[in-house]
Amino acid sequence: MTYHPGSRTIQDRVGVRDLADHVGRAVGQGIRPVAAAFLELQPMLVVGAAAPRSGTGAGRDADPAGGGVWASLLTGEPGFVRATGAHRISVTGGLPAGDPLTGALATEGTAVGTIALDPRTRRRMRLNGRVRSTPRGFAVEADQVFANCPKYLQKRQTYETVTGRTPGAARHGTELTPAQQEFVEAADTFFLATVHPHGADASHRGGNPGFVRVDSPGELSWRDYPGNSMFLSLGNLTADPRAGLLFLDWTAGGVLQLTGTARTEFTPDGERTVRFTLAGAVETPAASPLRWSAPAYSPANP
């Protein structure tokens, strides 16, 4: 794997360049049979990308989502996402109407990051690439395919699809409401979308409830726990501070999407904290039909 300068900056600062090179050799473009089999069992997929800018000379005034980085949730019966080639995944269906990334996924060649996470097995697979339209949805031509260790991933034994659950109207804002603040601080998991000049990435962050702090209605922070030493997300933020966060209500199906910018702060003892400044929020009640069982927290959580 070839790292861009943003990731190299973080690796060198932390002193893990050699380890990152070793881990990076496991990143490829091909989807192995075991990964293809894993994908076909999944009822959800998270996608991260930058929303296209719209309007002439209006920028964000024309489209509040325009230019922001977002993470979005897709769900379906197992098999709705599957490998359809050695370097391609195909997704049947698409995002709900009005999702901030609807335009991005409809634009040929958009850089996207995807992550398929299975709480039942505490496994996850990431695939980054470019969007291609298909008659039944969209496909992603892979640039990078890799798995992550189960660190900080909470185990949820089972899920069920709730028949008749209907998504509510999306609520937009530029600050977190008190209820949204409580929801974020009770979360044990969120997904992080980031971009760099040549691609995009979607990753997972997890911890015991309270690992994400609401410092104000417009700012969140979380400690960056030790991971695989590649520093793809933090490296992307060094190159481009735009970020998207996705929080799920694993029981009631609600989705909270946030977009804004993020920066990493380092302490002399090596601890890292990411601070996220909110630009926009979209909350959709009952967006997901999935109801998961209660979590067993990862033994790796600090």
What is the pTM assigned to this prediction?
0.94
| Residue-by-residue DSSP string for 232-297 | HHHHHHHH--EEEEEEE-TTT--EEEEEEEEEEEE-TTS-EEEEEEEEEEEEETT---EEEPPEE-
Q: What is the pLDDT of residue 264?
A: 95
Q: What is the pLDDT of residue 97?
A: 82
Q: Are 292 and 250 in contact (CB under 8 A)?
A: yes
Q: What is the pLDDT of residue 65?
A: 60
Contacts of 296 (CB under 8 A, 6+ apart): 154, 155, 156, 157
Q: What is the pLDDT of residue 226?
A: 84
Q: What is the pLDDT of residue 62?
A: 38
Structure tokens at 268: 């002399």
Q: What is the pLDDT of residue 60?
A: 38
Task: Extract the residue ranges of the chain whose pLDDT is less than 70.
Answer: 54-65
Q: How far apart are CA 92 and CA 94, in angstroms?
A: 7
**Chain segment 254-279, per-residue pLDDT in tens:** 999 999 999 999 988 878 999 999 99
Q: What is the pLDDT of residue 59?
A: 36
**Chain segment 42-77, per-residue pLDDT in tens:** 999 999 999 988 643 333 333 556 799 999 999 999
